[in-house]
Amino acid sequence: RHLWDESLIKWHVVTRLDKHAEVFQYMCNSMPPRPPVDYCVLRCWRNDLGRGTCIVVETSVEHCDAPVLVGGVRGIVLASRFLIQPCGSGKSRITNISRVDMRGRMPEWYNKVYGHQSAAHLSQIRKSFQHNAMGPESKV
């Protein structure tokens, strides 16, 4: 997340449950005067689904070692799913389904703004994977 989410302020792994699951806490900045939003999620991922497909699943949990970070309010991730499928030629398709309560937002805001924010996040994810070659291009 720290590679693509520009609003990320703090993050850490609270506890690792196994090689494909962890409790993860992070805080995202909000536009003033709203306080930053803190999330504590159970995050699971699989990359052995065949044909190079992988999935990341998150949902909010309570954890005794993850109190609300100072200055923030606790947001709730009701469901977050990322399905990443290779399409060939070095390209992939990302499907994101999420339902999040960012605390303090009206339904109208979600209807007008949240979709645009999600699209911007997907664009940032894409940029985080772009190859940046240094030096002259060779004719191989």
- Give per-residue pLDDT as tens, 2-56: 767 777 889 999 999 999 999 999 999 887 788 999 999 999 999 988 888 999 9
CATH number for the segment(s) 8-128: 3.30.530.20
Kindly report the backbone phi and psi dihedral angles of residue 25, in degrees, each rounded to the nearest multiple of 5, phi listed first.
-120, 135
Q: Domain limits of the chain?
A: 8-128
Mean pLDDT of 80-96: 89
Instruction: Give one word for 52, left, alpha or beta, with left for phi > 0 and alpha for psi -120 to 50.
Output: left
Q: Is the pLDDT of residue 120 over 90?
A: no
Tens of pLDDT, residues 11-21 = 999 999 999 99
Stated pTM of the model: 0.80
CA 98 to mean position of chain CA atoms? 10
